[in-house]
């Protein structure tokens, strides 16, 4: 059965099944009411042959007029008009053939030719309307499913392109800041500059390895952040103080690559660098309400320049939405009057 299904088009299988059921149902009622005779069989065979031919022609007209590609209202109007037209044609052809072959039923012998055509056209309209309804619903469902699949593929492609775009902005942004820190060391402390270049090389290697990854473990991201802060410490020296409050159980939790580094970079750029006395950057990682909560807290004020605007923080919110949906969140706020807190919540998979 599967081999037959795969060998023939679905259309012809449905045609065979539909008209086969039509023959069985009519034969059943003919036997039940004792009307199974030569005239009935002749009429049945004639109507089925006409039905197969004209439904196939009707399908051809539907495809040539491209009704299925039009709006829903035009599709409905088109199907009704086509059904009416072919019903009349089938009614006329059926009447002619039954006259030629002499297989009219008894009730048709006592009425005029016009009434026979009208009666046959009415019955043809009922059957053709059912045929068209099934045909229309089938293609409507297939079209809807295809549109849904296309939409999902498009959404997936858009997400992939957005993530790649975000990554392509993050890495150069990070590199330029790190190079500026190293440049300041070249004349003052060449040995430290060489060490800093090695540190930058390690960071870039880790960053390139993460390029094709949607998420990385927090522990790996922390390693990059610590190298970055070591480079920044060259520029700020004692003005930059770093604190860590990391729950070790969160180290294997997935986060977007370079996200934490971006938040720390913003904390330094818009917070620490604006104060003569510098300040503190504190990184906190913990579990709260079935979420992995990641916090970067720094000395500064929101009105001092650290806002949601700017690519770094915008990309953080975008990446969280793309990777984790509405369950993830990102917010930035001012606390205690002189501290800014960037808080990320990522749902923990059970």
**First vs last Cα of the chain: how many Å apart?**
44
Q: Where do runs of H (alpha helix) occur along the chain?
A: 2-7, 10-32, 38-65, 72-101, 113-183, 190-209, 218-236, 259-270, 311-324
Instruction: Flag whether 25 is in a domain.
Output: yes
- Residue 75 backbone phi and psi in degrees, to 5: -60, -45
Instruction: Identify whether residues 71 and 129 lie together within a single domain.
Output: yes
Averaged over 195-199, what is the pLDDT? 83
pLDDT band at 162 (very low <50, low <70, confident <90, very high): low
What is the count of structural domains for the chain?
Answer: 2
d(CA 296, CA 282): 6
164 assigned to some structural domain:
no
Same domain, 191 and 149: no
Query: Based on the domain organization, do 87 and 198 belong to the same domain?
Result: no
Pair (138, 223) in one structural domain: no
Cα 349 to Cα 109, 164, 254, 324, distances in angstroms: 77, 24, 10, 11
Residue 125 placed within a domain = yes
Handedness of CA 202, 248, 256, 242 (dihedral sign): negative
pLDDT of residue 291: 93
Locus of tokens 């190293």 = 182
Owning domain of residue 330: 184-347
> Within this chain, do residues 124 and 218 fall inside the same structural domain, yes or no?
no
Label residue 288 by pLDDT band (50, 70, 90).
very high
DSSP string, 258-292: THHHHHHHHHHHHTGGG-TT-EEEEEEEEEETTEE
Residue 95 domain flag: yes
Same-domain status, 249 and 209: yes
Please tell me whether residues 298 and 210 are part of one structural domain: yes
Q: Are residues 121 and 209 in the same domain?
A: no
pTM: 0.52
**pLDDT-based confidence at residue 244 (cuts at 50, 70, 90):** very high
Distance from C-alpha of 22 to C-alpha of 216, rounded to nearest angstrom: 62
């Amino acid at each position: 059965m599967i081999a037959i299904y795969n060998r023939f088009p679905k259309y012809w299988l449905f045609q065979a099944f539909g008209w086969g059921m039509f023959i069985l149902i009519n034969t059943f009622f003919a036997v039940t009411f004792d009307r199974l005779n030569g005239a009935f069989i002749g009429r049945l065979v004639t109507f089925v042959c006409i039905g197969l031919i004209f439904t196939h022609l009707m399908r051809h007209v539907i495809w040539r007029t491209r009704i299925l590609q039009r709006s829903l209202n035009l599709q409905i109007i088109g199907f009704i008009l086509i059904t009416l037209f072919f019903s009349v044609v089938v009614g006329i052809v059926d009447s002619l053939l039954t006259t030629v072959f002499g297989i009219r039923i008894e009730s048709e012998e006592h009425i005029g030719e016009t009434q026979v055509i009208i009666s046959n056209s009415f019955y043809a309209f009922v059957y053709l309307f059912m045929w068209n309804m099934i045909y229309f619903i089938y293609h409507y469902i297939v079209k809807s499913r295809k549109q849904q699949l296309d939409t999902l593929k498009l959404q997936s492609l858009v997400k992939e392109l957005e993530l790649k775009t975000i990554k392509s902005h993050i890495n150069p942004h990070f590199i330029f800041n790190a190079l500026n820190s190293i440049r300041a060391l070249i004349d003052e402390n060449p040995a430290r500059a060489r060490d800093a270049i090695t540190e930058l090389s390690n960071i870039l290697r880790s960053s390139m390895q993460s390029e094709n990854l949607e998420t990385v473990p927090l522990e790996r991201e922390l390693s990059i952040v610590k190298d970055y802060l070591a480079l920044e410490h060259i520029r700020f020296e004692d003005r930059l103080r770093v604190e860590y409050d990391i729950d070790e159980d969160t180290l294997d939790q997935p986060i977007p690559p370079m996200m934490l580094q971006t938040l720390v970079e913003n904390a330094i750029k818009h917070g620490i660098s604006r104060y003569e006395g510098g300040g503190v950057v504190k990184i906190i990682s913990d579990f709260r309400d079935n979420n992995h909560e990641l916090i970067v807290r720094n000395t500064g004020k929101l009105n001092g320049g650290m806002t949601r605007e700017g690519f770094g923080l915008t990309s953080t919110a975008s990446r969280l939405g793309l990777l984790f949906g509405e369950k993830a969140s990102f917010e930035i706020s001012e606390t205690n009057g002189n501290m800014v807190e960037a808080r990320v919540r990522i749902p923990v998979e059970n």
